[in-house]
Amino acid sequence: MSLEEAGTRGVLVHYGARDTDEKHGGFSTKKGQVKEMSVTFDYNDLPDGTEAGLSAQLPANASIVSARLEVITGFTSTSTTTDLTIGVADADGGSNITDADGLVAAAEATQTAIATAGNLITGAGAMVGTTIGAEAGVVTVAPTVDDLLTGRARLIVEYLPARA
């Protein structure tokens, strides 16, 4: 598969077979006004916010209600100190929103917590309970030590869109 950006329309054109990639996320609507975004990722393909136009975006001025990390396959690493940090970055690559652990901090997604499949980790980062600001944001995930060997997880972010 290859991608080509049509700059005049701001869209991506796909050529060839198209693989499904949950890393870029998707949305679902819950009852009421709360929306839900989920991003599924593997240890060797973490969302880093650098693929403009592909990743699901939290809308500008959205208020984060909650962030939960569901461990699908336990994470392993070569060290004993690898935790995950999960945050939000500017959707357009800028630096107005940059909070690397604004959704789930390393103290919550510790190596022990992410090692067991089925664990559900509740995020309490600085952006939970507040608005993301005037720009759209994308999810970023990073290990505290770059030595992950296995693992798969799904991040679920509940948010309220800005009122018009």
Where are the domains positioned within the chain? 22-160
* 8 A C-beta contact, residue 151 and residue 75: yes
User: Residue 125: what pLDDT?
Assistant: 95
Flag whether pLDDT at 104 surpasses 70: yes
- CATH code matching the domain that covers 22-160, chosen among 2.30.30, 1.25.40, 2.60.120, 3.40.50: 2.60.120
Question: Looking at the predicted structure, is the pLDDT value of residue 75 above 80?
Answer: yes
Q: Which residue has the tokens 């505290």?
A: 144
Q: Mind listing the pLDDT tens digit for each residue in 108-142?
A: 999 999 999 999 999 999 999 999 988 899 999 99
Torsion angle defined by CA atoms of residues 106, 112, 114 and 118, in that order, rounded to the nearest 10 degrees: -140
- In a 10 Å sphere around its CB, with 0-12 CB exposed, 13-18 middle and 19+ buried, how is residue 103 labelled? buried
